[in-house]
Amino acid sequence: MATRYEQVMARKGEIMKAALGMDYARFERSPIAFDYEGMMSAHGYTLEQIRSIQRAAGVGLTPLLELRNLTDLVRSYAEPGHGARIFVKDEAANMAGSFKDRRASMSIHVAAEKGYAGVIAATSGNYGAAVASQAARAGLKCIICQETFDSRHVGQPEIVEKSRICEAFGAEVVQMTVGPELFFHMLELLDETGYLSASLYSPFGVSGIESLGAELAEEMIALTGAPPTHVVVTHAGGGNTTGTARGLERMGARDTVVVSASVDLSGLHMASDADFNRKSFTTGHTGFGVPFATWPDRADVPRNAARSLRYMDRYLTVTQGEVFYVTEALSKLEGLERGPSGNTAMAAAMSLARELPTEATVVVQETEYTGAGKHHWSQLAFARAQGIEVRAGDPADNAPGKTIVIPERPEQIRARDIDLTRLRRSYIRNALQHAPAGYDPTPEDVVFLAEDTNTTPSAVEEIIAELRAR
């Protein structure tokens, strides 16, 4: 096994080049900089073509709903003159029940167009269901690789539910325990089958989300006469933030504030077998959100198309208990029973709306389907079975992996800001560390780092000087 692992990993560049159908090397400019916009447009599809492809695939044009009851609830405890209008883009109306259908539709279209017989994706989340659904519509074979179990072979209920739906769509599901073998097995399968890698982080996958940002901008203009003042995005690997923000920009909504939101799971390690079943969220949490923001190229592609620091204006975290509370409130007040992971942004939006004036508009840009292991009651029952205390109280007392505290009142929902300056500094430090020893950043590198962190060349130079001084 060790020899086979070394052999496969030594060929990962060659395998991924064949499996992605594009040569990333042509975009490289230096050990630090690359042509991001050139890479994003290399697939050759315009936004209108992407939307046309998605319409043919049964994806997109999902409802935009105003949540009047939640807005009234927030205004009942906000300061006078505060309490923004809250809207939601109901992406659960897509074919497989989430915004990931937009990503998958483009990966499957590219696979069919380039003549691949099938697709492979490594994902434990909604993306697997989306890829399997779209592959079924296109008549392509599909393999989904999942981290499903801890070493005791105990499966996380949400992931087990995703296995079920992937198999229902005709996909072969390869289940694994948590650990480094996920990427290795995916590479092996790509090499053996010659299938397309339907990576979450390819340019065509992330570009598929641009239609979401474009749609909600158009719909908000039709409903309110203007683009939304704020859009709240559940943040994990960064594709959701990146694609939505790019779509907003394409519609001219450059003044819209893009707010990323994650569940605070600080203290739990995502690659830890011991921590694997002590988290109630398999995505949309800080265990992915912070590492991918500060080093996006940790992905399975040479250069990640999802680069969230380019686009986020603010990054909020909420607790597990706050998300579960809002999930229940959304069902009871708005008649929308949706999955907890997608409600991470909803919890942050309720906190954000409280601090904004009544004329502001806050759009939560996606929902996800729920049921079986994805349901919030299933997640809470599983948490108790793992020895985690679940109780009502002050969500400030939440302790990831130990205690889930459900708020007793909605006014207890208080999102917390992550310092973007700190994240930008971490990203720049990682970029320098991944460059060859002794490499001196060029002016072109500084400009690239400024773009990739949504800051200025002078700010980047200051951070580089500070890091070198330390």
Q: Are strands 314-318 and 416-417 parallel, antiparallel or unpaired?
A: antiparallel
Let me know: does 230 contact 360? Beta carbons within 8 Å.
yes
Q: Give the integer Cα–Cα distance in Å for 54 and 48.
A: 10
Residue 346, strand partner residues = none
pLDDT bin (cut points 50, 70, 90) of residue 166 is: very high
Domains along the chain?
A: 2-52+98-203 (3.40.50.1100), 59-97+206-417 (3.40.50.1100), 421-469 (no CATH)
Q: What is the mean pLDDT of residues 352-362?
A: 98
Instruction: Look at residue 4 in the predicted model and tell me its pLDDT.
Output: 86
Residue with tokens 């992931």, as numbered in its chain: 159
Q: Give the integer Cα–Cα distance in Å for 321 and 340.
A: 10
Q: Give the integer Cα–Cα distance in Å for 190 and 297.
A: 20
Instruction: Name the residue with higher pLDDT: 125 or 100.
Output: 100
Instruction: Look at residue 180 in the predicted model and tell me its pLDDT.
Output: 79
CA-to-CA separations, 366 to 92, 98, 195, 460, in angstroms, rounded: 8, 7, 30, 33
Q: Give the integer Cα–Cα distance in Å for 263 and 347.
A: 10
Rounded to the nearest angstrom, the gap between the alpha carbon of residue 453 and the centroid of all alpha carbons in its chain is 18
pTM above 0.95, yes or no: yes
Residue with tokens 């109306």, as numbered in its chain: 93
pLDDT tens digits, one per residue of 387-417: 999 999 999 999 999 999 999 999 999 999 9
pLDDT at 191 over 90: yes
Q: Give the integer Cα–Cα distance in Å for 243 and 105.
A: 14
pLDDT bin (cut points 50, 70, 90) of residue 386 is: very high
Residue 316, strand partner residues = 261, 417
Closest CA to 34 of 463, 425, 452: 452
Q: Are strands 85-89 and 64-66 parallel, antiparallel or unpaired?
A: antiparallel
Closest CA to 237 of 219, 255, 211, 260: 260
Instruction: Look at residue 370 in the predicted model and tell me its pLDDT.
Output: 94
pLDDT at 313 over 60: yes
Instruction: Look at residue 102 in the predicted model and tell me its pLDDT.
Output: 98
pLDDT at 281 over 60: yes
Cβ within 8 Å of residue 370, ≥6 positions away: 337, 338, 339, 340, 376
Q: What is the mean pLDDT of the chain?
A: 96
Instruction: Look at residue 372 in the predicted model and tell me its pLDDT.
Output: 85
pLDDT at 435 over 60: yes
> How does DSSP assign 433-451, residue by residue?
HHSPTT----HHHHHHHHH
Report the share of the chain in percent with pLDDT over 90: 91
Instruction: Look at residue 173 in the predicted model and tell me its pLDDT.
Output: 97
pLDDT tens digits, one per residue of 61-87: 999 999 999 999 999 999 999 999 999
Helix (H) / strand (E) element for 301: namely none
pLDDT bin (cut points 50, 70, 90) of residue 2 is: low
Instruction: Look at residue 1 in the predicted model and tell me its pLDDT.
Output: 55
Closest CA to 319 of 290, 363, 291, 286: 286
Helix (H) / strand (E) element for 417: namely strand 416-417
Q: For helices 420-434 and 286-294, what crossing angle results, to 10°? A: 60
Q: What is the mean pLDDT of residues 257-277?
A: 93
pLDDT bin (cut points 50, 70, 90) of residue 261 is: very high
Cβ within 8 Å of residue 243, ≥6 positions away: 102, 103, 206, 207, 208, 209, 210, 212, 213, 306
Closest CA to 420 of 300, 310, 285: 310
- What single-letter amino acid sits at 31? P
